[in-house]
Amino acid sequence: MPPDSDNIIVQIPEASGNSTNTAIYLENDIQMGIEEDQTPATPTQTQPNPPERLVPIMNKRPALFSPVYDRTGRNPFQKNDSDKPTAKDPEQAIQWARNLILQASIMTNSYKEQNKLLELLDVFRDYTEKGRVTNQISDKLSAKLAFHSATLANASEKAAKTLKKATATVASQNNQTVAVATTTTNTNAPQSYATIAAQPSKNATWTTVAPKKKPTPKKLITHYQIVATLEENQTINPLQARNKINEAFQKAGIAGPVIQLAALSKRNNLILTTTSGYSGEFLLQQSNIWMDLFNIKHAQPLESWTKVIVHNVPTTFEGADTLEILQTEIPTYNKGLQIVGNSYWLTKDWKNKQNSSIVIAFKTEAEAKKLGARIIILGESLRTEKYRSIPATTQCDNCQGFGHTKLKCRNQTACQLCAGTHPTSRHKCSTCTTSGKPCIHTLPKCSNCKEPHFANSRDCEVLAAITNKENQYTTECQTALRFSKRI
């Protein structure tokens, strides 16, 4: 037969030993097979000739069963009339095998046998699904061993902590005994707080402990600073100003540099910071030494005040340039109000207006609240509101300018897209139906620098100049802050 054939012809081996019985078994079995083969396949069809007796191919390795006839006289692979289930594919056959093992585990009455069958099912499943066998029994034993090990470790730690506490208690008792003995023998020796507290005797003399001195509070940076208001349109180099003032103090016989830092504020005011040996009050007391070096209107301490805006102030009264008259005008005609610092006009073009707004300051917010909504100045009751600082880079949605918002803007309306005299929301394209926003036909134009870009573009030269000035001022403030930390 070819090697790939499904069946082979059984060669009956020669009988050895009890040949008579073997021959009888074989003869009876052959006779039974012939009788079964003579049975017709269908009622209308008969079996013509008995075919050769065939048995499926067996593996060459030894097995628990053999196609050889045993004492039962029956071949387990012999065909019979009952139909046996045949799996369609290997997966179905494997599933049936699992079900049979599971059914066997349910049918058994022994707990141990059931565990063995379930473990066999686990091994069978792992091998058929993963191609390897996981030793779950070893894993279970390892888990139990780890659990018991952790339990023993926790018990060991608790025992160690208990022993440590007991040892510390005994040691502290011994130390207290030694401390009492040392105190008794050396009454004149200096005693520590712990030794005094450990004395068990009620008759022991109490030792008075002096309270610690409170640390001296750190002085604020404003303690060392003043602000000098310069004349309009005056430019000063901060480094040259610092050197000139220090030279003036040196000529006056004051040792050491007095000015540590000089900087310009956003309003072009000169801010002077002294060294740690001097203060802003000292600079004001010695103002006759250094104020004549520059065109300075006045100098005052640099403090944080609450500012208030007064609207509709006349611009034609005597002393409108300096507003020094307000120092006596406001306290005289407004009971309980006292302004500090130097008042100033809110805008630079106040001279071109008949009425404008000024900024006054109060030392605290509580004093500013006493003002209310109106104030008497120059015989008129004027409206007031709290001053709100707005960054210089804030852009107005009405005129597209900087330094103010739309609520306070009184300038000509400008479009953000084309610089026209209409609001941005009413911008319309002459080619398409787009309105209120740019399109491919929009020719951008900035209302500030007149360059071909939108007014809110970061490429605007006006915005760049304002930003650089803000950054310079921020750098100077950070330098002053670092100096204050060293003082």
Q: What local confidence, expressed as pLDDT, does residue 389 receive? A: 76
Which residue, chain included where needed, has tokens 């073009």? 349
Q: What is the pLDDT confidence band of residue 196, given thresholds at 50, 70 and 90?
A: low
Q: What local confidence, expressed as pLDDT, does residue 62 receive? A: 45
| Least confident residue range of 64-73, 79-88, 200-209, 234-243 | 64-73
Q: What local confidence, expressed as pLDDT, does residue 184 receive? A: 53
**CB burial string 393-410: b at 16+ within 10 A, e below:** eebbbbbbbbebeeeeee
| pLDDT over 70, % of the chain | 69
User: Is the pLDDT higher at 411 or at 175?
Assistant: 411
3-class DSSP state for residue 274? strand
Q: What local confidence, expressed as pLDDT, does residue 453 receive? A: 92
**Does 215 score more than 50 pLDDT?**
yes
User: Is the pLDDT higher at 352 or at 128?
Assistant: 352
Q: What is the pLDDT confidence band of residue 485, given thresholds at 50, 70 and 90?
A: very low
Q: What is the DSSP letter of 201?
A: -
Note the pTM of the prediction, 2 decimals. 0.38
Fold of 221-303: Alpha-Beta Plaits (3.30.70)
H-type alpha helices, 65-110:
90-107
Nearest CA among 396, 400, 393 for reference residue 455: 400
pLDDT digits (tens, 9 = 90+) for 339-366: 988 888 988 889 899 999 999 999 888 8
Name the CATH superfamily housing domain 306-389: RRM (RNA recognition motif) domain (3.30.70.330)
Residue ranges, comma separated, of all CATH 3.30.70.250 domains in the chain are 221-303
Position 153: which residue type? Answer: A
